[in-house]
Chains A and B, each alone.
Chain A
Amino acid sequence: MVRHAAVRLALAVPTLVGVLFLVSALLHLVPGDPVDAMLGEGSSSVDREQLRRAMGLDRPPWRQLAEFAAGALQGDLGRSIAGGEPVALLLAQRYPATLQLTAAALGIALLIALPLGAAAAIRSGSIADRVSLILAAAETALPTFCLGPLLILVFAVELPWLPVSGRSGPASVVLPALTLGLGLSAVLARQLRVALADALRLDCVRTARAKGASGWRTILVHALPNAATATMTVLGLQLGGLLAGAVVTETIFAWPGIGRLLVQAIGARDYPLVQGCVLAVACTYVVVNLLTDVVLAALDPRLRERT
C-alpha cells in the first residue's frame, strides 16, 4: 500500500508541473497586461517601465515561471502584483472557505446519493428508481448559476431561513453547498444504482443470500463494498468538477474562496496569484485522486497487485 501511494505521489509531480506550465503559458498568450490594469491609459512610458521592472514583468515569461517554481519549492509563492500581499497569505485566507464549501457539498451529495442510488438499485423499475432518475435529470439539467439564485429566492427571500450570501455563519454554507452538492448527488446516485445492481447479481451475493444472510446485511456487507469501487472512482473524478464548480458558486454566493480569488487574479493578469491558485487547486485535485486510489486499493486488492 505504501509503495502504491509513493508511486502515485511521484506521478503527481509531473502533473503539477504540466498544469502550472500550461496555465501560465496560456495566460501570457492571451491579451492583457497587469501594468495596464494598474496604471490605465495616460501613464508615462517611464512610469510603466519602472513598474514593469519593479514587478519583474520585464523578464521573459519562462523565467518568471521558473522563478515562481523555484520559490514555490522553498515555500515562497511570491507576492500579488495587484495588491502586493504574499500569495501564500491570500491562499491561506481563502483556501479554508473553499475546503469547507467543497466538504459540505460532498457531504450533502453523499447524503442524497447513497439512499437514492441504493433504493433505485434494489427496486429497479420501481417508483423510487423512476423518482431518482427524474431527480438526477433535473439536478443535472439545472446549471449552478440558475439553481443558486433559485435556492436563494426560496430559502433566503421568500422563506427567510438562511442568509442570502457571504460567509457569515454556519447557516451560510447551506445554500452554496446545496447548489454544488445537488449536481454531484445526481451523478453519484445514478452511478451507484448501476454498480449496486451489478453487484447484487454477483455469485458471492447470491451465495450470501443462500446461506441465510438478511436482505440488508447482503446489501450493506456484501453488495455495497463491491459497488463502492466504481462509485469511488467517479467520486474522485467529480471532486475536480466540484472545485471547478466552486468558481461559479462562490461568485453567486459571495463565498470568499479560492475560486473567486482565481477569477479576480485572471482579470487583473496577476500572474503569481493565478499560479498560486492553480497550484493550490491542482494539489488538492492530486491529493484527492491519490486518496481515492488508496481507498480503492484498500477496497480491491487486485488494484494493489497490479501496481
Chain B
Amino acid sequence: MRRVTRSEHIGTHPTSMKHLRCPSVPDVLSRRQRFSAGRGRACGLAAVVAVLLAGAPGCAGEPARAPGWVVVGLDAPPNSLDPRTGSDASAVAILDLVHRGLVRTGPAGEPVPDLAVGWDTPDPVTYRFRIGDARFQDGRPVTAADVAATYASIEQPAFQAARRDGLELIAEVVAETSHVVRFSLREPSATFLGAARLAILPAACAAEADCRIGAGPFRLGRVELDTVEIHATSTADPAPDVPGIRFTISPDSVARALGLARGTIDLVQNAVEPDLLPWLESAGLEVVSTPGSTFHYLGINVRRPELSDPRVRRAIAHAIDREAIVRWVLGGHARLANGLLPPEHWSHAPVPEIGYDPAAARRLLAEAGTAVRVSLKTSTVELRRRIGEAIGAMLGDVGIVADVRPLEWASLYGDVRRGAFDLFALAWFGIRDPDHYHAMLHSEMAPPRGSNRGGFADAEVDALTVAARGPIPRAERRALYDRVAGIVQRDVPYVPLWWVDNVVVKNRRLAGFVPSPGGDLRSLAHASWTAQGRGGRS
C-alpha cells in the first residue's frame, strides 16, 4: 500500500490541509522506526503509571497492622495533641488515654480521684491534694512539682487557646511536699474540682508548647496525616492488654461503616449513622448502645417579640413529637430529656417532661394570639438536617411556620453566638457539673462571656445559679438546681430534646470495652482480643 506523505497532502490541498495535519510520527519514518517510536511512547506511558503509583507510600493493599493492635475510626483529625490545647472530640478521645489529671469524672458526674488519692479543704479557698504512686511514660514519678509546673504553664502566651474551664479560679499552686500540692483559690467555689481534671505533665516538659508525655496507660507514637498511634506503656498499673491503638481518620460516615465491615477498623463510637447499624450487625459486627449524657436541645431567642411569650415557647415544646424522632430518625438510640443532665447524674432534677400534645400547642398559640413565623437553624450534617426538617414539619402541623435552614458549622455557631436566630438545634457534650446552668441561663452570660444565647433573663434564676456556685454541700446545691429546673420547665427558655446514647460498633473479638456515659474511650485500656466471634469480613 502506498503511503500518503505529508508533502503530498500539502501539495494536493494547499489551503484546506495546511492547518489540519498533525501526524505525530513523521510519515517518512520506516515501519521499523515507527514501531520503535510507538514502543517508546508505550514505555513513556508505563513510566508515567509507574511514577503515579510510586508517588503513593508503602506497599499495595491495606496498611500493615501490628499484631494485637486496635484500630479506632475517628471522623476528624485532632486539633492538637497537647492536652492544654487539644479540645475537640478527637483530641479528647486520644488524650484521655495518654494523660491523667488529679481527678476524673465518676459515673454520676462527680469528681473522683485519679492521680490524686484524696484531697481535703482546710478552708473554703484551699484544696490540698495527696498524689499517689504513679509514673510518667518516661519512667519518672509524678510529683507535686509536676502538678505546679503544669498549672503554671497554662499562663504562658503559647496556651492562650488552652481550655480554661475553672482555671481562672486558681490564685496559686504550691508543691508543699513531693506528694502534696496546695491550690489557693481567689474565692470559695463549689465547682473548682472541675479544674483539677487538667492533664498533668512532667515539669521538665510542661514549659514546651507541644508536650506529649503523660501518666496515662498509653504513650503517643507515630503521628502522620490521618493516623495517630499510641503504644501501651509498662509504667501503667495495670498495663493495657492490647499493645497499641491506631486512630485512623475517616471523615465520611458511610466509608467508616464500610471500613468496619471490611475489618480495617475495629471500633467506632458515636460516628456511624443510625440507618447503617442494622447492616453492620448483619455484617458480623457488635453494636453496643449505652445511655449517654450528650444533651440535644432547641434554643429559643426570647428577645424576638413573638418568642418572648412563654406560652408560644411552651407550644413549640408541645408540638415536637420527640418520641417519633427518637424512634424513626435516631433508631431508638436516645432518651427523652427533661433537663440538662441525665437521670444518673447526681444533680438530675425530677421535673415532668413537656410531652407531645399538638392540641395543647394550638390552644396556647390561640391564647397568645400571634402568628408565629420562625427560622430554625441547624447543622448541614445529614442526620441533624433530617431532624431539623422533622421538627419544622411538626411545628407546621400546629400552625407555626418554620423555615429550616441548614448551615455549615462555623456559620451556624457564628449566628448562634451573635443571636442571629429564632430557633436553633444544637447539643452540649461533656457537661459534668450543673454549674453549666449559670453559663446557659444567667442574664449576664450572653456570648462571648457565657452561653446564654437566647437572651433569657430571670432574677430568680440569676440568684439561684450564683448561690449554687458557693462552697455549700452537694445536697444544698442540688436543691437549688431543682428550683432552676422548675423555672426552666415553666418558662421554657429552651426545649430539652434528648440525651443521645453512646453507640459503639466494634469487632466482636474485641472484649472488655465498656462505653462511658461521657463518651470517652478510657475503657480501651482494659480491652483485649478474644479468639471467638468475628468482626467484619477480613
Name A residues whose Cβ lies closer than 8 Å to a Cβ of B. Answer: 30-33, 36-45, 47-48, 50-51, 54, 82-83, 93-94, 96, 99-100, 103-104, 107, 148-149, 152-153, 156-157, 160, 162-173, 202-204, 207-208, 211-214, 221-222, 225-226, 228, 251-254, 256, 260, 264, 266-269, 299-302
Contact = CB atoms under 8 A, between A and B. Distances in A.
B52 A31 contact: no
Q: Is the interface of B mostly helix, strand, loop or mixed?
A: loop
B441 to A, nearest CB: 13
A279 to B, nearest CB: 20
Contacts of B249: 254
B226 interface: yes
18 contacts: A30-B410, A32-B414, A36-B410, A153-B258, A156-B258, A160-B538, A164-B264, A165-B250, A166-B250, A167-B56, A202-B16, A204-B9, A208-B9, A211-B12, A222-B21, A251-B252, A264-B76, A300-B19
Given A42-B439, A260-B251, A157 B258 contact: yes
Contact of A256 (B3, B226, B262, B417): B226
A266 B380 CA distance: 14
A108 to B, nearest CB: 10
Contacts of A54: 157, 160
B411 A152 contact: no
Interface in B238-295: 248-252, 254-255, 258-259, 261-262, 264
Given A31-B414, A168-B58, A39 B161 contact: yes
A235 B492 CA distance: 58
A221 B26 CA distance: 10
Contact of B48 (A107, A228, A260): A107
Interface of B: 1-4, 8-9, 12-13, 16-24, 27, 48-49, 52-63, 76-77, 79-80, 87, 157, 160-161, 164-165, 168, 225-226, 248-252, 254-255, 258-259, 261-262, 264, 408-411, 413-415, 417-418, 420, 439, 447-451, 537-538
A25 B63 CA distance: 41
Contact of A204 (B21, B48, B77, B248): B21
Given A40-B87, A41-B439, A170-B59, 10 more contacts: A30-B410, A37-B413, A51-B161, A83-B80, A100-B52, A149-B255, A164-B264, A211-B2, A221-B27, A252-B252
Nearest to B17: A204
A82 B79 contact: yes
Contact of A100 (B56, B87, B250, B439): B56
Contacts of A32: 410-411, 413-414
A260 B160 CA distance: 27
Contacts of B157: 50, 54
A42 B56 contact: no
Contacts of B439: 41-42
Nearest to B227: A166
A252 B8 CA distance: 55
B450 A31 contact: no
Contacts of A33: 410, 414, 417
A163 B61 contact: yes
A289 B22 CA distance: 21
Q: Is the interface of A mostly helix, strand, loop or mixed?
A: helix
A60 B154 CA distance: 30
A170 B415 contact: no
Contact of A207 (B13, B19, B24, B77): B13
Given A33-B414, A43-B448, A208-B4, A169 B56 contact: yes
Contacts of B49: 107
Which of B17, B61, B415, B417 counts the most A-chain CB atoms under 10 A from its CB?
Answer: B61
A285 to B, nearest CB: 20
Contacts of A214: 1
Contact of A164 (B23, B27, B164, B255): B255
Given A157-B258, A164-B259, A202 B20 contact: yes
A301 B439 CA distance: 71
Contacts of A47: 160, 164
A196 to B, nearest CB: 14
Contacts of A171: 60-61
A153 B252 CA distance: 14
B226 A254 contact: yes
Nearest to A305: B19
Contact of B414 (A36, A93, A167, A226): A36
A41 B411 contact: no
Given A36-B417, A267-B408, A41 B447 contact: yes
Contacts of A104: 52
Contacts of B22: 225-226, 228, 299
B52 A157 contact: no
Contacts of B79: 82-83
Contacts of A165: 250, 252, 255, 259
A38 B80 CA distance: 11
Task: List the 8 closest A-B pairs by CB distance, nearest first.
Answer: A31-B414, A32-B410, A225-B22, A170-B53, A168-B63, A32-B414, A256-B225, A171-B60
Contacts of A83: 79-80
